[in-house]
Amino acid sequence: MDAANYKDESIITLEWQEHIRRRPGMYIGKLGDGASHDDGIYVLLKEVVDNSIDEYIMGFGKTIDITISEDRAVKIRDFGRGIPLSKVIDVASKMNTGAKYDSNTFQKSVGLNGVGIKAVNALSSLFEITSFRDGLYSKARFSQGILLDEEHGETDEANGTLVIFSPDEALFGSYKFNYDYIESMLKNYSFLNSGLKLAFNGVIYCSQNGLLDLLKDNLNEESLYEPVHLKSQDIEVALTHASGYGESFYSFVNGQHTPQGGTHLSAFKEGLAKTIKEFYKKDFDPDDVRTSMVAAISIRVQEPVFESQTKTKLGSKDMVAGGPTIKNYILDFLKQTLDNYLHKHSEMADILLRKIIESEKERKAISGIKKLAREKAKKASLHNKKLRDCRIHYNSKDENFEKSTLFITEGDSASGSITKSRDVNTQAVFSLRGKPENTFGISKSIVYKNEEFNLLQAALNIEEDIDNLRYNKVVIATDADVDGMHIRLLIITFFLNFFPDLIRQGHLYILQTPLFRVRNKKKTLYCYSEEEKTQAIKKLGTVEITRFKGLGEISPDEFANFIGENIRLDSVKLGKNDLIQDLLTFYMGKNTPYRQGFIIDNLRNEEELGV
């Protein structure tokens, strides 16, 4: 089309549902296929559940039932007030229509703009909404936002709302729900709404202790002291310190998880440091106060302003119109409640003081080493063959941050193959030299003294803050042999020990590469297990079989198949029962007899393995 040919017909007016389908990113962020926790299918689920949560906050309905069937249809039933029957179609299909504009009807709610449920409707191949109210019901069915039919009548169902939807494959592709992500979402809802029962496919999530339960559920280390739990009408906080490095903060507004923080989280961090410094009458560095801290804050704000429709970062300055600023409200709350707590719990205050002083000593001890390490990393980056960087640089705040990947490889041949076959715009390669050091039980100074770790840290840009991470996916790409497994374990140990949030936040992965190539004259299949190899032989008949001994044996042309659209990644995760120090002590500590006993007790012979 000629760009200069700008006429009347160039101006297009879209129907509401067509605008959402053409520009879904404005409403739900990215689309995705369900492999990532922030993919669109989870945003659709959240938008519907948010409405049910708001009913609970207003005092209506103590249970929300959620099911996902085998055909991926999502069903959400609450027992709130139910939508006024004459407005069911409007609520689901008229933009900027909803009760959230009326602050008397919904106070301090999540949904504000009357958009979320319409996005779910427009982006679903089937969307059905039913309101039950005082013995009557009203139902409307849609497809891709277009009304198919409606139904009204009498019912013996309890008051509330039922929403059924199926994300549209035409937009989301062959998507799949990851129940772990949904479980995490529902747990957060339960922590933030004490007493609410959320049933997901028959499993009930319910919390009686709010953020205290959240903290205990997310702690992967023994805490140094019993978590502090402070509450008021519109604010709740919980905090403790662990023994490792880094800091973990969880922030929420009106029951909405804000992973990118915002004004409330900034004020919380500032208030914690300020209150603690004033209590001890010492000018501590805020970093020393927060090192290894695990904390959570939840506030309720009337008519909050978020920085996007997906509500991941709070932009509001005030708690309510004409009221105190969020910053002053949080600082005053901490000054009063946390200061009182420290005065009343002297034993805990002593533990906290020792922890801060310990962090301060270590920071000062390595400050000189850090300066030299930075200079070395800068010089190395000028002619550094260890890092083959990507052309486009994203940060964690960028919309396309998810596309960035760093492969950590062993040896020149493997890194060479990946480098030649990668997407140069979004994929970078970092090459290790030999086996890295076992960092368990070693202070953080080793990160700066060891060239490999220093350059890796610099490449990731995580020295000062994990939020500065330059790559969304950090992928360990080692051979599938004993040496490769050992190197993989040593790298994971490094991150667990010094940068556990990289794992907690879901950034660390292991690349799965094929063990076999099975091919005949017409077709080639790559197999990741003995079972897949057997199936490939059955499928192709007379074949040639190649066993890959290492990544360096896979040609760049072939490697392109494994790090592009067909990439197989295993996420490195920490479960709630996985205590970091216990894990590292057992697997990486000097307890050889115990590990020997474990290996002997779990040996499996060739017959059991089917070899």
Residue 606 has pLDDT above 60, yes or no: no
Q: How far apart are CA 319 and CA 232, in angstroms?
A: 14
How far apart CA 7 and CA 570 sit, in angstroms, is 52
Is residue 17 within 8 A of residue 144, CB to CB? The reply is yes
H or E element, residue 197: strand 197-200
Mean pLDDT calculated for residue range 256-271: 88
**Residue of higher predicted confidence among 324 and 376:** 324
Could you report how far apart the first and last alpha carbons of the chain are, in Å? 62
The residue to which tokens 């560095």 are assigned:
285
Residue 174 CB-density burial (10 A; 0-12 exposed, 13-18 middle, 19+ buried): exposed
Q: Is the pLDDT of residue 110 over 70?
A: no
400 φ/ψ sector (left φ>0, alpha ψ -120 to 50, else beta):
alpha
Instruction: Let me know: does 294 contact 215? Beta carbons within 8 Å.
Output: yes
561/203: higher pLDDT: 203
* Residue 37 confidence (pLDDT): 79
d(CA 146, CA 317): 39
Q: Could you give the CA distance from residue 373 to residue 120 in angstroms, rounded to a whole number?
A: 50
User: What pLDDT, in 10s, does the model give residues 557-600?
Assistant: 888 877 877 788 888 887 655 667 777 777 777 777 777 777 77
Q: How confident is the model at residue 207 (pLDDT cuts 50, 70, 90)?
A: very high
* pLDDT average, residue stretch 544-556: 80
Instruction: Give the type of residue at 241.
Output: H
* Residue bearing tokens 């012979």: 605
In the predicted model, what is the mean pLDDT of residues 335-358? 94
Q: CB within 8 A of 601, min separation 6: which ones? A: none
Sign for the pseudo-dihedral over CA of 303, 308, 309, 312: negative
pLDDT at position 600, please?
78
383-397, pLDDT tens digit by residue?
A: 556 788 888 776 666
% of the chain residues with pLDDT over 70 = 88
- Asked if residues 550 and 481 have their Cβ atoms less than 8 Å apart, the reply is yes
Q: Kindly list the structural domains of the chain, giving each domain's residue range(s) and its CATH number in brackets, ordered by start.
A: 16-205 (3.30.565.10), 211-362 (3.30.230.10), 384-513+550-578 (3.40.50.670), 516-547 (no CATH)
Tally of CB atoms within 10 A around 376: 15
- For residue 34, count other CB atoms closer than 10 A to its CB: 19
What would the pLDDT profile of 54-68 be if each residue is shown by its tens digit? Answer: 899 888 999 999 999
Q: Which of the four pLDDT bands, split at 50, 70 and 90, describes residue 182?
A: very high
- Whether the per-residue pLDDT at 306 is higher than 50: the answer is yes
Does the pLDDT value for residue 382 go beyond 50? no
Q: What angle do CA 9, 15, 16 make, to 5 degrees?
A: 140
| Angstrom distance (rounded) from CA 85 to CA 49 | 20
Evaluate if residue 452 carries a pLDDT over 80. Answer: yes
| CA of residue 160 relative to chain centroid, distance | 31
Radius of gyration of the chain (CA): 27
| Rounded CA separation 456/174 (Å) | 36
How many whole angstroms separate alpha carbon 130 and alpha carbon 141?
9
**Quick one: pLDDT at residue 356?**
93
The predicted pLDDT at position 102 comes to 45
Over 90: is that where the pLDDT of 411 sits? no
Residue owning tokens 């002997």: 600
pLDDT at position 101 is 41
Output the pTM of the full model.
Answer: 0.70
In the predicted model, what is the mean pLDDT of residues 80-92? 91
Q: Where does 345-392 have alpha helices with state H?
A: 346-382
Asked whether the predicted pLDDT for residue 409 surpasses 80, the reply is yes
Name the average pLDDT for the chain. Answer: 84
| Local structure of residue 476 (DSSP, 8 states) | E
- Give me the phi and psi of 335, to 5 degrees please: -60, -40
Q: Within 10 A of 344 (CB to CB), how many other CB atoms are there?
A: 9
Residue bearing tokens 């006024």: 84
pLDDT at 10: 67
Q: Of 67-76, 161-170, 341-350, 534-543, which range is least confident?
A: 534-543
**What was the pLDDT predicted at 98?**
54
Say whether 376 sits in a helix, a strand or coil: helix
Q: Which residue has the higher pLDDT, 378 or 91?
A: 91
Give the confidence band of 609 by pLDDT, cuts at 50, 70, 90.
Answer: very low
Decide: helix, strand or coil at residue 521: coil
